[in-house]
Amino acid sequence: MEIGSREKTILDRIVDARRASIAHRKRVLPEVALKIAVEKKAPPVRDFAAALSRDGCNVIAELKKASPSLGVIREEYAPAVLAASLERAGAVALSVLTEEDFFSGSLADLKEACRVVQLPILRKDFIVDPWQVWETRAAGADSFLLIAAVLGDSAVRELLDLGRSLGMEPLVEVHSREELDRVVAAEARIIGVNNRDLHNFKVRLETSLELIERIPDDCVAVSESGLRTHEDLVRLRRAGFDAFLIGEHLMKSADPAEPLRQFLGAEGAGHTAA
């Protein structure tokens, strides 16, 4: 992403830090080693797109310890315990933050969650390099996030293609009409609308409602961030969304399973682990 002479946003700083981290990690763990790990040790891929396409309020429950806007969200952060609890409460998939510097995450968190649930797991991070895609599959994840705001068109296509070659269908995130048009042209199949502007971290639920009509019917549409109630999910589902990514509202609760059940309403009883 071109920064130029303008002041760097939080998103710019996160991506810069991620690129520096990747450069170091590539020297420690070459891509060829990751490819061997994928071939020899990675578990079978679970179908992330299918999990989001069920008939109901499909919630991707997110495990997140901290964020740049809020700081530490959850002091007691045990990914395995949280993952198992959210699976039992009715999540159809999990999202695990693995970015270290700004979100206090790690790949170890993702691996812990993978070990205890049957649900598909999304790696939530700032993926900008094919090396990270191999790292994601080697860690056992079933999908990964691509953020249109930090990727050019050729990079989106390259990372989509690589993910699919490994059996992972990425969630491609947009925040504006221009970004949405770009990822539709790149033939993204799971499109997430982030109601939080990653440049200033302001949240508007209306962003999802403004963009849903431009998401093709054959794509899986996901609304992300700023969801507070079951009624929000019902409203967005009626508008055309298939699934909902919810993190902070769950992580702020002493027992995240309880607000998840409230989000799902009566439908929560209909979801069981795959």
Q: Are strands 71-72 and 171-174 parallel, antiparallel or unpaired?
A: unpaired
Rg of the chain (C-alpha set): 17
Q: Which candidate in 67, 104, 194, 208 is catalytic? A: 194
d(CA 171, CA 5): 31
Kindly give the residue spans of alpha helices, DSSP state H, lying in the chain. Answer: 10-28, 31-40, 48-52, 79-89, 107-116, 130-138, 153-165, 177-185, 206-211, 230-239, 248-251, 257-264
Q: Are strands 66-67 and 58-63 parallel, antiparallel or unpaired?
A: unpaired
Look up 100 and say whether it is catalytic.
no
Look up 62 and say whether it is catalytic.
yes
Look up 224 and say whether it is catalytic.
yes
d(CA 90, CA 75): 24
Name the DSSP class of 166.
T
Does residue 72 sit in helix, strand or coil?
strand
Look up 173 and say whether it is catalytic.
yes
What is the token pair recorded at 243?
A: 């699934």
d(CA 221, CA 230): 18
Look up 104 and say whether it is catalytic.
no
Look up 179 and say whether it is catalytic.
no
Q: Which candidate in 99, 112, 173, 248 is catalytic? A: 173
Q: Which candidate in 179, 195, 225, 248 is catalytic? A: 225
Q: Which candidate in 111, 124, 169, 195 is catalytic? A: 124
Q: Which candidate in 87, 99, 112, 224 is catalytic? A: 224
State the residue for tokens 């949405």: 180
State the residue for tokens 């590539």: 26
Q: Which candidate in 58, 62, 143, 179 is catalytic? A: 62
Give the CA distances from residue 30 to residues 24, 37, 130, 135, in Å, rounded to whole numbers and listed in that order. 10, 11, 12, 10
| Catalytic residue list | 62, 64, 124, 173, 194, 224-225
